[in-house]
Amino acid sequence: EAGVVQSPRYKIIEKKQPVAFWCNPISGHNTLYWYLQNLGQGPELLIRYENEEAVDDSQLPKDRFSAERLKGVDSTLKIQPAELGDSAVYLCASSRQGRETQYFGPGTRLLVL
C-alpha cells in the first residue's frame, strides 16, 4: 500500500509570507497527526485528527498556525505569517483508529529567510 504522502518536500520563503503543507494519509487511516521537528530534536505534536475532528490541538500556535482535514482524508497545515523560528521539518503521520503504530511521511523541510 502507498505510504503517507506529503508535499512539497522543500519550501523556502521569506518571513511574513504564508505557506501551506499538504498531507495524504495511508488509505483507511482515520487518525492523522502533524508534528514539528526542529533541528537536532525529536518531533513534537502540533495537532491530531480523528477523522475530520481536531481532538488535540493544544500545542498548535493558533495565532499563526491553522489546520484542516476536510472529509476526514487529506489535511493541510498553514502558517501565516511565517517567522524565522518556523524553519523546521513538518511531519505528517497516520494510524488506523485505535491502533498504536503511526506511519510517517517524508516531511516538508521549511526554510524561512
Partner 1 sequence: AQTVTQSQPEMSVQEAETVTLSCTYDTSENNYYLFWYKQPPSRQMILVIRQEAYKQQNATENRFSVNFQKAAKSFSLKISDSQLGDTAMYFCAFMKHKQNSGYALNFGKGTSLLVTP
Nearer to partner 1 (CB atom), residue 27 or residue 101: 101
Burial class (CB in 10 A: 0-12, 13-18, 19+), 32: buried
Dist CA 93 CA 107 (whole Å): 9
Q: Does 41 bind partner 1 (CB under 8 A)?
A: yes
Of the residues 36, 86, 90, 107, which one makes contact with partner 1 according to CB under 8 A: 107
Nearer to partner 1 (CB atom), residue 31 or residue 75: 31
| Single-letter code of the amino acid located at 39 | L
Residue 4, CA distances (Å) to 32, 49, 61, 83 in order: 10, 15, 24, 27
Name the minimum Å distance from CB 2 to partner 1.
13
Question: How many residues form the binding site for partner 1 (CB under 8 A)?
Answer: 29
Of the residues 40, 53, 70, 71, which one makes contact with partner 1 according to CB under 8 A: 40
